[in-house]
A = this chain, B = another copy of it.
C-alpha cells in the first residue's frame, strides 16, 4: 500500500499536535482490519510520539521539561541555530510503529499519537504506511 502523505500545520515553537484521528482516517480509508501503521516524520527537527490524551497539562509539562533538558542555546556550531531541535528529534524518534486491530489503531485507554514539533511553527508532513495482515 502506498505511503499516505498528510500536511499539518504547527502553531508554536514546541508543540505536541494530536494526529490520532488523521492516522485512524487513513486506516479506515484503507479498509484494513488488522495490521501495522507506521507513522513517519520526514523532518529532522520534529518527531512522533505517543502520550496522554486527557489532561493537556501533560503536553505542556513535556514540552517545557524537554526544553530545559536540551537547552536551545548551548554553544552549538550548526549555523541554523536549531541543534537542540535536532537532538530532541532523535530522542523522540522519527517513526512510530502502531498496531491495527478491529479496523482502527489499538491504543491504551489514555494514549494518543502526537506530532512533536521542536522548531515551529511550520507546515509539516506526516507519512503513513499501512501493512495489512491476516487477523486470524
Contacts and interface: CB of A to CB of B under 8 A. Distances in A.
Contacts of A58: 44, 78, 83, 86
Give how many copies assemble into the complex. 3
Interface string A16-29: 00000000000000
A136 B1 CA distance: 5
Nearest to A133: B131
Interface in A50-99: 50-52, 55, 57-58, 60-62, 65-66, 68-70, 74, 76-80, 83-84, 86-87, 89-99
Contact of A110 (B44, B74, B92, B110): B44
Interface string A114-133: 00100000000101010101
8 contacts: A1-B134, A36-B38, A42-B111, A43-B111, A58-B78, A58-B83, A58-B86, A61-B87
A106 B40 contact: yes
Interface of A: 1-3, 34, 36, 38, 40-44, 49-52, 55, 57-58, 60-62, 65-66, 68-70, 74, 76-80, 83-84, 86-87, 89-99, 101, 106-111, 116, 125, 127, 129, 131, 133-136
Contacts of A76: 57, 61, 65
